[in-house]
Homo-oligomer: A and B are copies of this chain.
Amino acid sequence: MRVLGIDPGLTRCGVGVVDGSVGGTLTMVAAGAVRTPADDELPARLLGIERGVEQWLDEHRPDAVAVERVFAQHNVRTVMGTAQAGAIAVVCAARRGLPVALHTPSEVKAAITGSGRADKAQVGAMVARILRLDGPPRPADAADAVALAICHLWRGSAQARVARARQEFARRIELARQANGL
């Protein structure tokens, strides 16, 4: 399964593509950023983000897209840009019928480092270790996007394990009912 992680922002959208399977090793396919000039008007910037995200989708054909879920607890101006850029990323994926998952920054940190309060350096170090890289992907937004993709693969796996356990439980109940003629 291939996941495109997107860490949205007007100036820099971090993007990262990770291949992985349940219980298998994870491989980083590509990482980078979609940038738009800060002195461009908003319509041109959003159009630039749309084109950039489309290019990453065309080139890497992911099976799912993971986008950071934005909360407004930070700087208000930044958050507005993040919400706008994130909306464009989400709609690009949804238009292609790709499943889109939204993960909060603390879900990503907890998935990667075990702590929802880990700092950027710690997340970057763990991303490098998990993917067997010499160092965290650059720029920092790319590392965050790769972390999102890893989080999605692992959370998806965990959710799949829970779903399989539920099916197995239901199957045993059914067998027990049959054995007892119920």
Chain A residues at the B interface, C-beta cutoff of 8 Å? 41-44, 46-47, 50, 70, 72, 76-77, 79-80, 83-88, 90-91, 93-95, 100, 102
Contacts and interface: CB of A to CB of B under 8 A. Distances in A.
A43 B93 contact: yes
Q: Which of A41, A43, A47, A76 has the most CB of B within 10 A?
A: A43
B91 A46 contact: yes
Contacts of A43: 90-91, 93-94, 100
Contacts of A85: 87
Chain multiplicity (copies): 2
Nearest to A102: B42
Nearest 7 Cβ contacts at the A-B interface = A84-B87, A43-B94, A83-B83, A72-B76, A87-B87, A43-B100, A46-B91
Nearest to A91: B46
B42 A95 contact: no
Contacts of A70: 80
Given A72-B76, A87-B87, 13 more contacts: A42-B90, A42-B102, A43-B90, A43-B94, A44-B94, A70-B80, A72-B80, A79-B80, A80-B83, A83-B83, A83-B84, A84-B90, A88-B91
A94 B102 CA distance: 26
9 contacts: A41-B100, A42-B90, A43-B100, A46-B87, A47-B91, A72-B79, A79-B80, A84-B90, A87-B87
Contacts of A90: 42-43, 46, 84
A83 B93 CA distance: 18
